[in-house]
Amino acid sequence: MKISLYNTMGRSIQEFKPINDNQVGFYACGPTVYNYAHIGNLRTFIFEDILKRVLTHSGYDVKHVMNITDVGHLTGDGDDGDDKLTKTAKETGKSAMEIANFYTIAFKKDFNALNMIEPYVWCKATDHISDMIKLIQRLEKGGHTYQSGGNVYFSIDTFPDYGKLASLKMDDLKVAVRDDVSVDLNKKNPKDFVVWFTKSKFGEQQMMWDSPWGRGYPGWHIECSAMSMKYLGESFDIHTGGVDAIPVHHTNEIAQAEAATNHKWVNYWIHGEFLLTDSGKMSKSKGEFLTLQLLIDRGYDPMDYRFFVLGGHYRTQIKFSFENLDIARKNRNSIVSRIKELLENGVVKVELDSIEAKALALEFDESCASNLNMPKALAVLWNTLKSDKVTDREKYSLALYFDQVLGLRFDEIQKETKEKLSDDLEDLLVERIQAKQNRNFGRADEIRDELDKLGYVVKDTTKGPILSKKM
């Protein structure tokens, strides 16, 4: 099946054609590990996970590389930038390495909790300093860099296509729009950026390496260019990130990579939109942000959040609220209980046979292939579970088939195991049955209220009452 994706380079939906027949090189910009990931960050990683699963589901062998930025990501890009990790380290009295390790572990925990498939390679910036130095040397040889004020800068005027990804018009760009960023007077062009620092107004950093230009540390953008080429080659298929990466980070990555190699670097640039809250973008620097752990502490399952994210297309902003998350939870629970019911009826996974089942599978696949249309894919799931044209076995089998992409852990759903109720609960339930038999409905309703207070809901079925925990 042909997969179409929205390519930021060209601003259009394009048919995906990999460089190699069956293999896809996929680089995803990973986290900077100076703090916890918030649920907005995680939305982007879920989108990338869906992209990878869709490609895999379609038969591609996906080489997925994700970096861990543990050095060089500065609060600014001039000579006044403070390294984010160094900053956190100073504030907490810990070493930068300790900070990086701590938040890397926290990130991977969230990553797994959300059922994202691990990359083929995780690469840490600090493990690849020599690769970055080699890339800078290539740029230097090609005349794309200059030294000024102790730092090595990339000169964007040596790269004619600069800004193509973001359709930047150089003359109209404002510089240092943000209040906390000042103009770096060492730059020839205000849009030039540092590839290697040896001097910083913050002085001696914790993380420094020897280089041909002196002891120092790399700029932020250079790591992605260097590491992606190391693991995926000098040209590869897909590079992803959040929309915020388009005008600066990815623009600069392209400049470095293509200036060094003199050929096209990445074919498809795909960007995820932001998760918003009532007050706008969720921002780390504002201090207030929501983590996955906070949702878990509030009683949500990570799959509730994943389901919530899948409810909106990756290229539209979605607004997070607990009200909306509640609806997602309710919907997911409804789907899970439908699947449980199928299991209780003794279904097993079967090959899809009927025309109707195959049509649903096709509709699902088309939704995925159509620029990752997950809201549509979820609609197909609902239609499948509610259909009276496919058998229960097929419903179950289709749900598992869909879950290869959705990643909602349908394969882990088990038959409702008859939980051993505590004696108190058992007694109340028996008493209620007796009260009902004696037509003492007042007492029966009292017991229902008591059970409700204990957190259980009674459902009277033809087979007798069922007690289930309130969601």
- Residues in 134-173 at the binding interface with RNA, rule: CB under 7 A: 166-169, 172-173
Rounded Cα distance, 180 and 149, in Å: 21
Among 3, 5, 24, 29, binds RNA (CB under 7 A): 29
Binding mask 294-323 for RNA (x = CB under 7 A): -----------------xxx-xxxxx----
Residues 341-370 that bind RNA (CB under 7 A): 370
Helix axis angle for 355-369 and 39-57, nearest 10°, is 130
Q: How far is the CB of 357 from RNA (least distance, A)?
A: 17
Q: How far is the CB of 154 from RNA (least distance, A)?
A: 11
Residue 414 zone, left/alpha/beta (φ > 0; ψ -120 to 50; rest): beta
Which helix (DSSP H) or strand (DSSP E) does residue 270 occupy? strand 266-272
Asked if residue 283 binds RNA (CB under 7 A), the reply is yes
Which helix (DSSP H) or strand (DSSP E) does residue 148 occupy? strand 145-148
Asked if residue 52 binds RNA (CB under 7 A), the reply is no
Asked if residue 379 binds RNA (CB under 7 A), the reply is yes
Q: For residue 272, how many other CB atoms are within 10 A of its CB?
A: 26
Asked if residue 236 binds RNA (CB under 7 A), the reply is no
Q: Is the Cβ of residue 272 or residue 407 nearer to RNA in the bound state?
A: 272
Residues 73-132 that bind RNA (CB under 7 A): 73-78, 81, 84
Q: Is the Cβ of residue 175 or residue 294 nearer to RNA in the bound state?
A: 175
β-strand 23-28 against 464-469: which pairing, if any? Answer: unpaired
Rounded Cα distance, 186 and 146, in Å: 10
Q: Is the Cβ of residue 131 or residue 184 nearer to RNA in the bound state?
A: 184
> Is the distance from CB of 115 to CB of 235 less than 8 angstroms?
no
Q: Is the Cβ of residue 330 or residue 415 nearer to RNA in the bound state?
A: 330
Among 281, 298, 349, 389, binds RNA (CB under 7 A): 281
> Is the distance from CB of 35 to CB of 103 less than 8 angstroms?
yes
Q: Is the Cβ of residue 144 or residue 187 nearer to RNA in the bound state?
A: 187
Q: Is the Cβ of residue 97 or residue 435 nearer to RNA in the bound state?
A: 435
Q: Is the Cβ of residue 14 or residue 23 nearer to RNA in the bound state?
A: 14
Q: Is the Cβ of residue 67 or residue 397 nearer to RNA in the bound state?
A: 67
Site size with RNA, rule: CB under 7 A: 96
Asked if residue 399 binds RNA (CB under 7 A), the reply is no
Rounded Cα distance, 275 and 314, in Å: 10
Residue 110 zone, left/alpha/beta (φ > 0; ψ -120 to 50; rest): alpha
User: Binding segment for RNA among 108-116, 200-208, 227-235, 456-464 (CB under 7 A)?
Assistant: 456-464
Contact partners, residue 397, CB within 8 Å, separation at least 6: 349, 350, 351, 352, 357
Q: Is the Cβ of residue 11 or residue 141 nearer to RNA in the bound state?
A: 11
Asked if residue 450 binds RNA (CB under 7 A), the reply is no
Binding mask 177-216 for RNA (x = CB under 7 A): xx-xx-xx--x--xxxx-----------------------
Of 459, 461, 437, the closest CA to residue 448 belongs to 459
Q: How far is the CB of 172 from RNA (least distance, A)?
A: 4
Contact partners, residue 466, CB within 8 Å, separation at least 6: 458, 459
In eight-state DSSP terms, residue 175 is: S
Q: How far is the CB of 45 from RNA (least distance, A)?
A: 7
Alpha carbon 94 to its chain centroid, in Å, reads 28
Q: Does residue 63 sit in helix, strand or coil?
A: strand
Q: How far is the CB of 258 from RNA (least distance, A)?
A: 19
Reading the block at residue 421, the tokens are 């109720």
Asked if residue 331 binds RNA (CB under 7 A), the reply is yes
Asked if residue 242 binds RNA (CB under 7 A), the reply is yes
Q: Is the Cβ of residue 134 or residue 340 nearer to RNA in the bound state?
A: 340
Asked if residue 327 binds RNA (CB under 7 A), the reply is yes
Q: How far is the CB of 365 from RNA (least distance, A)?
A: 14
β-strand 280-281 against 193-197: which pairing, if any? Answer: unpaired
Rounded Cα distance, 341 and 45, in Å: 32
Degrees to nearest 5, angle at CA 76 with 74 and 82:
50
Q: Is the Cβ of residue 128 or residue 271 nearer to RNA in the bound state?
A: 271
Residue 296 zone, left/alpha/beta (φ > 0; ψ -120 to 50; rest): alpha
Among 418, 455, 461, 469, binds RNA (CB under 7 A): 461
